[in-house]
Amino acid sequence: MAPKEVIFEGYREIIPEFSLFQESLRRPFPKHLRVNRLMIEPADLLRFFESKGIALRRSSEKYDTLYLAPGLEFPGNQLEYYLGYIHPQALTSCLASLAISTREGSYVLDMCAAPGGKTSHVAQLMKNTGLIVANELYPSRHIPLGHTLDRMGVLNAIITGYQAQQFPLKERFDYVLADVPCSGEGRFRKTEDTADYRKPKEVTWLSELQKKIILRGFDLLKEGGQLLYATCTYNPEENESVVNFLLDQREAELLPIELGLDYEPGLVEWKDEKYYKQLKKGARFYPHRLDSVGFFMARIGKRG
């Protein structure tokens, strides 16, 4: 029997229990749901699903709106989806909205908002108070973004269409969410023989774009504001290197991330590059530790 292909071999030294990580990439993604409290309480939704013979399992003891739906093949075909009661969303994607810890009545910018999962989640956490600016560059994505916000009962958001790295500096925000364009390594699973991950050629270009976005996001914060930088990739050049660049350029500091779920701390070095020690406060989510999309996030404060 031919040996199994080793995927992401270049990250062997930074990913703990690398063999388990490799095994996790050969399993399909689990189906996670977020219950939308703007429209229904979790207990009521569970009763609706139980009456149809569908059992949901809590994804976290801490958060009662996050569920695993092992027997639900197509969540988007359910009536509860169209009613805005549920939103199919990767567990780690939901954690980004939770990590930024927005307060009710806040002024929030989502720099790269489509398709709207995080924007609608933040609106839910803020109980439709304050204002969320959902920015999305591409007009073709405004329709699905608007549809998601409408379906989920979001009343406190407006949509804009700026390049994230050039978002106007006329306003300042309490919170900025920057889930930036990335190489998407965390979304890869080799569930078929034909599946093959090919590293994008534009990683260097991506990291330069990410640095511009994180700088603009930070500059859009009010004094004492918070920025959540996130990617769905493992590459330190798109993660720690980008955050380290911000720490070099601005009066920024990393804040702890407390989610009650398994993750690895951020790296303080990669190849020949050394990072600030506070990068340990970043969070790396691997699929063998938390069965979802691979993710990185850093919660960043503006001193003042």
Q: Supply the residues annotated as catalytic.
A: 232
Q: Taking a C-beta distance cutoff of 8 angstroms, is the pair 244, 232 a contact? A: no
User: What are the E-state strand segments in the chain?
Assistant: 32-35, 57-58, 66-68, 86-88, 107-110, 131-135, 157-160, 173-179, 221-231, 252-255, 264-265, 269-270, 273-274, 283-285, 295-302
Q: Does the N-terminal peptide bond of residue 115 adopt cis geometry, omega within 30 degrees of 0? A: yes
Q: Taking a C-beta distance cutoff of 8 angstroms, is the pair 203, 237 a contact? A: yes
In 3-state terms, what secondary structure has residue 251?
coil
Nearest to 188 by CA among 294, 114, 93, 283: 294
Question: What backbone torsions phi and psi does residue 42 show, to the nearest 5 degrees?
Answer: -55, -40
| Tokens 């197509």 belong to residue | 74
In 3-state terms, what secondary structure has residue 278?
helix
Number of other CB atoms surrounding residue 160 within 10 Å: 16
Q: Taking a C-beta distance cutoff of 8 angstroms, is the pair 147, 159 a contact? A: no
